[in-house]
Chains A and B, each alone.
Chain A
Amino acid sequence: MKRIFLTLLMVLSLAAVLTWWIQPARQTDVPILYWVTTNSPIRDDQVAAFENWLEANAYERIELRIDASNNDPSKKLIQGISGVAADLFDNYADQAYLMQSTGILSDLTEPALAHGFGPETTYPSVRSNFMIEGRQWGYPPSVSVAVYLVNVAAFEEAGMEVPPRQWDIATFEEWGRRYVAARTVPGERQRHFFAGSQLDRVELSRSTGLDTYNETLTACVLDDPRYVKVLETVYRWMYEDHIIPSQQEESTFAVEGSGLGISMALFARGNYAMLYLGRFALVRLRSYGDQEYAASFPPYFEYPNLRVAGGNIGLYAKSSKKEEAYRFFEYLASDTHNRMIVATGDALPVNPAFLETEGFLRPPEHPNEWGVHEVYAEGMKAYSISRSRSPFVLPEVAKRIEVNNYHSFLAGRISAAEAAGQMAERINLEIERTLEERPSLVGEYERLVALQEKIDALKAAGKPIPADWIINPFHRRYYRDMGLLDEGSEGP
C-alpha cells in the first residue's frame, strides 16, 4: 500500500513540474486589455478591427483579449469586490446599476470628454443606460430595440399580405386571428403561431401611458387597471386567440439548443410568422439561409413606443490599464466600429448618423432584408425611450417579483388584478427595505415624495408639469408628446 502511495506521489510531482513548465510566458511589452464578454461569432473580427484602427491612427499597440468564461454576473461581482476583476466587462440591461452602486466601476465622465465618447455621441434614449446621476459609467458597443421581424413566406402560405408597419392592438389581434385560422388544420395540434411568445409588457403598458414607476421613481404603480388590461390582453393572445404560444405550447416543439436559439429556429422554419427581437438576431438568422424578411412595430394601445435594450461596457475601478481602456472606448465611438456593427448585423450602431447610411438601410449582400432595417432605424430614432430604473430598488429584484407574479397569473393561480396588486405591493416593500438598509438615501427619497405629491396634484387638475420635476425618462417623453410638459428645461 505504501508503495502505491509513493509511486503516485512521484507521478503527481512530475506532473506538477510539467504543468509549471508549460505555463505560457507573459509578454510585457504590449499592454494587454481584458474584455469580459460573451463569445460572439464575430468577436474575432471586432478585435482585429480594433487593432487595425489603432495602427491606422498611429496609436500604440494594445492587445485586446476576449474572456468569455468570466462572464457570469455573480463572478464579476465577487471578483470586483475582491480586487481581481478584469479591466473591461459587459453589463447587461440592469446589471450596470448594481455594479455602479457597489463601487466597482470607474467614473468615465472626464475621460469621455477628453477622448470623445461621451453621451452626446449617441441617442438620447440610450444615455441613461450608462449615465447615472449625471456621471458616466460605461459606453455601449451597440444599441438595440426590438421590433417584430416578419417571415414573409409564412404570410404568403396563409394567403395574406405582409402586415402593416404600425398597428394598434385591435388590428394586431385581427391579423393574428386571421393568420391562425388560415394556417391551423382542425383536429391537429397547432403548429403555426402568429408570433413567438416574446413581448415586452412594459412597452405595452407604456402604450397606455403607464410605466412601472411613478414620475419621481419613488414607487411602483403597477396596481392600476391599465396594467391589468395589459395582463389580460397577453392572456387573451395566449389562451383564447392562440396567436402566440403559451409556455406549454412553446415547449411542444422538441427543439434542442437553448432559449433564444429555439425561437429563432422556429421563426426561420415558419412556425412563428413573426418574432419580436433586436437586430442582432440577424447574426444567427443569416447562418440559416437567405429568407425574405420584413418588419413591423409592436402594436400599441394608444401611444406607440419602444424600450431601449441596455447593455454597455464598464471599466473596473481598480484596473491598471485605464489609459488603454479609454483608447478602446474611443474606438467604440469611432466610425470604423460603427461601420462594422452595420455590416455584421450585430444590433444597431451607437452613432445615430449611421442609421441613415446606404450600407445600413440596404446592405448589398442581403437584399432579402431591405425592408427590415428602415424599421429598426425609425424605431430607434423616433420611438425609442430609455428604461426606467428606480434608485430605491434593484432592477433585478423588481424583475423577479414581476415575473413570478406574471407566471402565477398565467398559470391561473391568481387573477390579473391580484397579480398587478401583488407586484406593486412587493416592489414597494423592497423599496422600503432598501431605504432601511441605506439611510443615506432617505433624505432624497422624502424630497422626491413631496415632489410627487405636487405632480399628482397638477395631474389631477390637468395642468402641465414642469420638466425638471420629472425624473422618469418615460414620463418626460410621454408628457412632451402629449403636450403636458411645461418646457422650462430640456428633456429627452
Chain B
Amino acid sequence: MSTTRHALFHTLLTVLSLLMVLPFVWMILTSLKTLREVDFESWLPAEPQWRNYLDVFEVIPFARFYWNSLFVASWVTFLQVLTSALAAFSFSRLKWRGRDKVFFLYLATMMLPGLVMIIPNYQIMVALGLVDSYLGLILPASFSAFGTFLLRQFMLTIPSSLDEAARIDGAGRWQLFWEVILPLSRPGLITLTIFTFMGNYHNFFWPLVMLRSESKYTLPIGLLSFETQSGQLTHLLMAAVTMSVLPLILIFVFLQRYFVAGIQAGAVKG
C-alpha cells in the first residue's frame, strides 16, 4: 500500500476515533472540575482538581467496590465462557435428537425482557439463601444463552473435516473438544470474554436488587452514593467512573494480541 493510501486511512481513522472518544474526554474534563464549575457553564476546568480522584476514596469505600467488581466479573466470565463453550460444542459438533429444538428453546429464553423475571428470580435466591452474597451474584450470571449462541456460531465456521481427521487419529469427544475445537475457537472465546466481562462489570439492576451489605457492593451500585439530596456530585462521580474504566481498557488492549490472523490458516494447513 502506498504512503498516500496509508496516510488517508490514518486520517480517516483519526477523525472517526476523535468522534468516538468525545464522551470519554468530557468525562475526564468533568472529573477535574470543582462542583461549582460543574454546575456552572464551563468546558474546561480553571485548575485541574486532581484531588477529586483522592476524594473519591474518602467519600465511598472505592477500593473495596473495585475489588468486588473485578472479583465477581472475573468469576462470571470464567464460568460463563467454560459452560458456554461446552454447550456450544454440544450444539454444533454433536448430533443428537432434539438438539435443534433445545437450541431454539435457549434462543427463545433470551427474548423475554429480564425485568419481569427479577422478582421470581429474587424469590429463588431468598429460598436458596443466596441473597446478599457473592455466590448470588455469580451463579445466575454463569449461564448464558447468549454466550452459547455466540460460541455456537463460531464453532460452526470450523470445517467438519477436522473432526473426522481427529476421529481417525483416535481422539474421543473430550479430546476433540479440548485439543481441536477450543483452540480453533479462540477468537470466539476472546470475544465472549470481552463481552461478558464488560457486561457483568457494568451490571446494575441485579446487584442493586441482590446486595444489602455495603462491603459487597460492586462499582455501579457504589457510584449511586454520589447522588445526594441536593444534586449529584458529578465531579466525583466522573472521577470514579474514569478510574473504574481502567481494567476494561487494559483487558481489551491485552486481548487484542490474540486477534491475529493466521491462527486459522495454520490449523487448516496442518
Chain A residues within CB distance 8 Å of chain B: 1-2, 5, 8-9, 12, 15-16, 19, 22-24, 38-41, 67-72, 75, 78-79, 82-84, 86, 253-262, 264-265, 269, 280-281, 283-284, 287-288
Please name 22 pairs of A and B residues whose Cβ atoms are closer than 8 Å in the assembled complex, sorted by A. A1-B179, A1-B182, A2-B178, A5-B82, A12-B78, A15-B74, A19-B71, A23-B215, A39-B228, A40-B230, A82-B122, A84-B132, A84-B212, A254-B41, A255-B39, A255-B40, A255-B41, A258-B231, A261-B231, A283-B229, A283-B230, A287-B36
Instruction: Say whether B141 faces chain A, with CB atoms less than 8 Å apart.
Output: no
Most buried by B among A15, A257, A261, A287: A257
- A347, closest chain B residue (CB): B229
**B225 with A78: CB separation less than 8 A:** no
Q: How far is the CA of A262 from the CA of B39 in the complex (A)?
A: 6
Instruction: Say whether B100 faces chain A, with CB atoms less than 8 Å apart.
Output: no
Of the stretches B17-25, B216-224, B259-267, the one at the interface is: B216-224
Q: How far is the CA of A19 from the CA of B71 in the complex (A)?
A: 8
**A69 with B222: CB separation less than 8 A:** yes
* Beyond A39-B225, A68-B227, A261-B39, 10 extra complex contacts between A and B, CB < 8 Å: A1-B178, A19-B71, A23-B215, A40-B228, A78-B209, A84-B131, A255-B39, A257-B234, A280-B229, A281-B230
**What is the minimal beta-carbon distance from A185 to any residue of chain B, in angstroms?**
18
**A261 with B230: CB separation less than 8 A:** yes
A19 CB contacts on chain B under 8 angstroms: 67-68, 71, 134
Instruction: Say whether B126 faces chain A, with CB atoms less than 8 Å apart.
Output: yes
B41 CB contacts on chain A under 8 angstroms: 253-255
A9 CB contacts on chain B under 8 angstroms: 78
**B209 with A265: CB separation less than 8 A:** no
A-B contact count (CB 8 A): 115
**A264 with B39: CB separation less than 8 A:** yes
Q: How far is the CA of A72 from the CA of B122 in the complex (A)?
A: 16
Q: How far is the CA of A341 from the CA of B8 in the complex (A)?
A: 64
Instruction: Say whether B11 faces chain A, with CB atoms less than 8 Å apart.
Output: no
- A82, closest chain B residue (CB): B126
**A12 with B122: CB separation less than 8 A:** no
**A69 with B39: CB separation less than 8 A:** no
A22 CB contacts on chain B under 8 angstroms: 67
Instruction: Say whether B105 faces chain A, with CB atoms less than 8 Å apart.
Output: no
**A40 with B231: CB separation less than 8 A:** no
Most buried by A among B119, B132, B182, B214: B214
B119 CB contacts on chain A under 8 angstroms: 78
Instruction: Say whether B252 faces chain A, with CB atoms less than 8 Å apart.
Output: no
Q: How far is the CA of A376 from the CA of B52 in the complex (A)?
A: 36
Residues 220 to 267 of chain B near chain A (Cβ within 8 Å): 221-222, 224-232, 234
B39 CB contacts on chain A under 8 angstroms: 255-257, 261-262, 264-265
**What is the minimal beta-carbon distance from A10 to any residue of chain B, in angstroms?**
11
Which label, helix, strand, loop or mixed, suits the secondary structure of the B interface? helix
**What is the minimal beta-carbon distance from A286 to any residue of chain B, in angstroms?**
10
Q: How far is the CA of A269 from the CA of B37 in the complex (A)?
A: 12
**A78 with B40: CB separation less than 8 A:** no
Chain B residues within CB distance 8 Å of chain A: 30, 35-36, 38-41, 67-68, 71, 74-75, 78, 82, 118-119, 122-123, 126, 131-132, 134, 178-179, 182-183, 208-209, 212, 214-215, 217, 221-222, 224-232, 234
Most buried by A among B131, B215, B230: B230
**What is the minimal beta-carbon distance from A74 to any residue of chain B, in angstroms?**
8
Known: A1-B182, A15-B71, A261-B232. A78 touches B122 (CB 8 A): yes
Q: How far is the CA of A280 from the CA of B35 in the complex (A)?
A: 18
A281 CB contacts on chain B under 8 angstroms: 230
Q: How far is the CA of A265 from the CA of B126 in the complex (A)?
A: 45
B71 CB contacts on chain A under 8 angstroms: 15-16, 19
B234 CB contacts on chain A under 8 angstroms: 256-258, 261
A253 CB contacts on chain B under 8 angstroms: 41
**What is the minimal beta-carbon distance from A466 to any residue of chain B, in angstroms?**
42
Known: A38-B229, A40-B230, A69-B217. A257 touches B38 (CB 8 A): yes
B231 CB contacts on chain A under 8 angstroms: 257-261, 264, 284
A69 CB contacts on chain B under 8 angstroms: 208, 214, 217, 221-222, 224-225
**What is the minimal beta-carbon distance from A151 to any residue of chain B, in angstroms?**
14
**B74 with A12: CB separation less than 8 A:** yes
- A9, closest chain B residue (CB): B78
Q: How far is the CA of A269 from the CA of B40 in the complex (A)?
A: 8
Most buried by B among A16, A39, A255: A39
Q: How far is the CA of A357 from the CA of B200 in the complex (A)?
A: 54
**B36 with A68: CB separation less than 8 A:** no
Top 10 nearest A-B pairs (CB, nearest first) are: A261-B231, A265-B39, A284-B230, A40-B229, A38-B229, A258-B232, A257-B39, A69-B224, A68-B225, A39-B228
B178 CB contacts on chain A under 8 angstroms: 1-2
Q: How far is the CA of A128 from the CA of B42 in the complex (A)?
A: 44
Q: How far is the CA of A19 from the CA of B63 in the complex (A)?
A: 13
B74 CB contacts on chain A under 8 angstroms: 12, 15
Q: Contacting B36 at CB < 8 Å: which of A1, A38, A79, A288?
A: A288
**What is the minimal beta-carbon distance from A146 to any residue of chain B, in angstroms?**
14
B132 CB contacts on chain A under 8 angstroms: 84
Known: A68-B225, A69-B222, A257-B38. A75 touches B209 (CB 8 A): yes
B68 CB contacts on chain A under 8 angstroms: 19
Q: How far is the CA of A82 from the CA of B229 in the complex (A)?
A: 27
Q: How far is the CA of A82 from the CA of B36 in the complex (A)?
A: 41
Q: How far is the CA of A155 from the CA of B67 in the complex (A)?
A: 53
**What is the minimal beta-carbon distance from A290 to any residue of chain B, in angstroms?**
14
Q: How far is the CA of A69 from the CA of B67 in the complex (A)?
A: 18
Most buried by A among B30, B178, B214, B231: B231
Q: Contacting A265 at CB < 8 Å: which of B40, B134, B214, B222?
A: B40
Q: How far is the CA of A253 from the CA of B40 in the complex (A)?
A: 9
- A90, closest chain B residue (CB): B229
B215 CB contacts on chain A under 8 angstroms: 23-24
**A8 with B183: CB separation less than 8 A:** no
**What is the minimal beta-carbon distance from A86 to any residue of chain B, in angstroms?**
7
B126 CB contacts on chain A under 8 angstroms: 82-84
**What is the minimal beta-carbon distance from B6 to any residue of chain A, in angstroms?**
36
- A65, closest chain B residue (CB): B214
Most buried by B among A12, A24, A38, A256: A256
